[in-house]
């Protein structure tokens, strides 16, 4: 069982969030994107559903992407929702980046779409520095789905990776969950490194840049103290010497029991 380094209150009452637009869900694009009847395109923040090609040449649909779209349609299509914002309200594609709640007949919040999609097994927690609010609830929903092998968690494509560098190198330029023991930590100039092997030049490493260190400090967590800890990290796998993952906010790291 994971113990995420997170805290918070129920999202609809979270003072870090700003209530936004309400509207009826007119259409579903994929498992984490929808249109309101106002024409506003909404990206469900803090989660990532299986991806569809959506016109991208050469892009192969991820396993269960069509099923994820169907699940979101079942939950939200033609229903009234309210958006909540944690920071950036629009991305470069002019999509609203929002936490999305279904509304009941009296206009009160009923179901948090992100949490429900993840609990059903059709999304992974996918926070950003300003879309982390109440992600402890999303982690709990993800763990519940993973334990039950619901949805994506029954597919090898989405399984948690080990930090073994040769295997992880095959996942370059993809978003992954990696679980292992931090064998060594170091701060060099303005960067913190969490190493998962004896040779930083070939083994998996997590790099925490200066801004990420500020967020760790604000959370009361010293990443240099994590040597020997079993952790799960998530992010995009890159190659810099060996496989590397950048961690710019603490909410993408879990310390495991």
**Within this chain, do residues 192 and 223 fall inside the same structural domain, yes or no?**
yes
- How far, CA to CA in Å, does 104 sit from each of 77, 83, 101, 111, 133? 14, 14, 10, 9, 23
| Phi, psi (deg, nearest 5) at residue 191 | -120, 145
Q: Do 99 and 129 lie in a common domain?
A: yes
* pTM score, whole prediction: 0.90
CATH classification at residue 121 = 2.40.50.90
Domain that holds residue 141: 2-154
Domain endpoint, select from 154, 176, 205: 154
Give yes or no: residues 173 and 145 share one domain: no
pLDDT of the chain along its 257 residues, tens only?
Answer: 444 443 333 344 455 789 999 999 999 999 999 999 999 999 999 999 999 999 888 889 999 999 999 999 999 999 999 999 998 899 889 999 999 999 988 877 779 999 999 999 999 999 998 889 899 999 999 999 999 999 999 999 999 999 999 999 999 999 999 999 999 999 999 999 999 998 888 999 999 999 999 999 999 999 999 999 999 999 999 998 899 999 999 999 999 96
What Rg value do the Cα atoms of the chain yield, rounded? Answer: 19
CATH number of residue 240's parent domain: 2.40.50.140
Last residue of a domain, one of 154, 169, 190: 154
Domains of the chain: total: 2
């Amino acid at each position: 069982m994971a113990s995420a380094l997170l805290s918070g209150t129920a999202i609809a009452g979270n003072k870090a969030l700003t209530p936004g637009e309400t509207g009826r869900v007119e259409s579903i694009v994929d498992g984490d994107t929808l249109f309101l009847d106002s024409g506003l395109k909404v990206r469900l923040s803090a989660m990532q559903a299986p991806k569809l090609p959506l016109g991208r040449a050469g892009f192969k649909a991820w396993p269960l992407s069509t099923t994820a779209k169907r699940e979101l349609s079942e939950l939200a299509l033609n229903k009234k929702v309210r958006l909540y914002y944690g920071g950036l309200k629009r991305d470069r594609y002019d999509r609203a980046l929002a936490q999305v709640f279904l509304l009941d007949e009296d206009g009160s919040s009923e179901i948090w779409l992100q949490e429900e999609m993840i609990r059903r097994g059709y999304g992974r927690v996918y926070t950003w520095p300003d879309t982390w609010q109440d992600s402890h609830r999303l982690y709990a929903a993800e763990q519940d789905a993973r334990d039950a092998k619901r949805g994506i968690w029954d597919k090898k494509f989405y399984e948690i990776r080990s930090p073994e560098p040769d295997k992880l190198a095959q996942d370059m330029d993809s978003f992954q969950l990696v679980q292992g023991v931090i064998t060594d930590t170091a701060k060099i100039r303005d960067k913190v490194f969490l190493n998962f092997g004896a040779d930083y030049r070939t083994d998996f490493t997590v790099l925490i840049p200066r801004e990420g260190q500020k967020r760790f400090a604000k959370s009361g967590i010293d990443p240099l103290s994590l040597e020997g800890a079993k952790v799960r990290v998530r992010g995009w796998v890159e190659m810099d010497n060996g496989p590397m993952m950048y961690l710019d906010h603490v909410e993408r790291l879990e310390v495991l029991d």
